[in-house]
Structure 1
Amino acid sequence: MPQRRVITGRSQEPRQRFAEELRLLRAEKKVSLRQLGERLGWDWSLFGKMEKGQTIGSPEVVEALGLYYDCPLLLALWELAAADKTQFKEQYQRYMTLEAEAVSLWHFAVSVLPGLLQTPGYAREVLAAGGLKGKQLNQQVEARDSRRDLLEGENAPPFRTILSESVLRTRLRNMNEWRGQLQHLLDMSERPDVAIQILPFSAGPYGLDSTDVMFLRLTDGRTVAYTENAHRGELVTESADVERLQRVYDSLRDLALSPVESRKFVLRMLEEVPCEPST
């Protein structure tokens, strides 16, 4: 049996350490990324992103790499990298900076309204459902409410969002707050620089069925994307990756209701919400 190399851990940051180990293991194996992809049955570009620290991959991919490299500790390094939230926070902070500078924005939502369109009542209930409470909850609600300023003023960037019908079928528990949120959507849809479209259930299966995405058109002409699910977010800057996401987004736009029909859809939902006495 070949001697197994001890994991060095030259970097102290878990994700960087994991990426570094992947690069060293492949160098010792003397294989190219394309050869690695051919031998393990995955797109070789995935391994390139993992070695650059852009993604950590799935546990299935890492298990296959560990077997190929004869490095059983690789999965343990992956678990450390997956548990580390530092880089995700840094990516989100970078995204927020880019969002504030963007000249136009396009968005798709799977199950929750985009922060730019959330009322404080909606934000509070959604954040509380995620486990926040007390002072931390109040701070996050205030922070999310302040983001709506991005769509205010003469220099506000054009904003388009495509909402899966499931977003509007998931009501708040507080019916008065839910009515206020739906009315806010209607009010925002009247703005010339805001377009809201609904992707109905009748559209059938579609791409991005488990991922929210925001596209930012930047002042230098580039477009970047930020993808997010229930557990993590990722800033996507590689042009080929952004283009693939845009193609899926364009297909969703073709399936979605028009802004006019979407407004009628929201209005019908608003009419269905029962009124509750104010407390």
Structure 2
Amino acid sequence: MSDSLDRQFIELHEQGLLLLANCWDPGSARIAARAGAPALATSSAALAWSHGYPDGGKLPPHLLVETASRIAATNPLPLTVDMEDGYSDDPDEAARVADELMVVGVVGINIEDGAGTPELMCEKLAAIRRAAQKRAVSLFINARCDVYLRGLAPEGGRVAAVLERAARYQEAGASGLFVPGLRDPGEIAAIVAGTSLPLNVMAVPGLPPLAQLRELGVRRLSAGSAIAEGMFGYVKGVTEHFLATGTLDAPPAGPARYSELNAWMEGPEGAA
């Protein structure tokens, strides 16, 4: 494998199915590394919650960069960071955030189209790719396509909608395609066949097992915010039990729901 972290991360997408157990701070990153992770990836939601902000563009970008810097400084593995929609509708501003991440050692990013237009996404991808070229970094730009997650196309038309966006995103500079919410084996196979971008899916109920994902040609599987949801749910349960009983023998608690965690973190601007 290459010596440079950016090339290492690219090569991991060429060697089978890359599993990313998303982290949110240096401690969770160290745990992921100790568990055997070949690379590190942040979850935007988990990172925002760890700072007391809800997910969805609420985290001040400087906290994202500072956290990424601390993770990169304390771990020798390739690091990719979820930067949501770039925290701006201005492609140059999104590229500025990506550039700051590269300065601190990040070699991959996720950026999502969300509710924005494919045209805006392409402008952001192109601006980020230009910034990476100026840094001489082979940045892995994972383009998140929210057609399934947000229901942006009717059932039966989602594969075609994803592939149309994938072609445009690849031309604009994307290195990979992330389609959260995709789980049907036939649709996964059709998307793999329809693009040369390595396909990333998210671990969700109903997703085919690992062996089948490998057979289908999926190249990356992300935990998303699920690990953090389990951790925060446990913390809440133990805390409530301690405050009620003064003891630490709380029964096992289930994960907190994404919507619950976002609600817990809502508050006055700057409260965190």
* TM-score normalised according to structure 1 size: 0.25
Which has the higher Rg, Structure 1 or Structure 2? 1
**Higher normalized helix content (fraction of residues):** 1
